[in-house]
Amino acid sequence: MAGLQHNKVAMDPALTRLGNMITNRYKYFRWTPRTAWISFVYVLAVPAAVTYLGWTQDGKLDFRAKRKGDTVYER
């Protein structure tokens, strides 16, 4: 144990390339129809769908003071 060089790890060239690619990704990004569509879906469509579901289901469920066999839906 004494005298050993700890923390000496050979760098894997594939991991080094991957790290460089991730670091410099913004330099090579281009807006294409595919990237525009993906951005639209994740920025606008998904939050809009979650908001719609939240508004339509608001007040329909009541979890307070329920016993076994009681329904959670408000009438």
- Identify whether the C-beta of residue 36 lies closer than 8 Å to the C-beta of residue 45: no
pLDDT in tens, 17-43: 999 999 999 998 999 999 999 999 999
Taking the CA of residue 29 as centre, how many other CA atoms within 13 Å lie in the half-sphere pointing to its CB?
11
Give the pLDDT confidence of 33-70 residue by residue, as tens digits.
Answer: 999 999 999 999 999 999 999 999 887 877 777 778 77
SS3 of 47, please? helix
pLDDT at 4: 67
**Backbone φ and ψ of 59, nearest 5°:** 85, 0
With beta carbons less than 8 A apart as the criterion, state whether 47 and 60 touch: no
The full set of domain ranges for the chain reads: 41-75
pTM of the model: 0.53
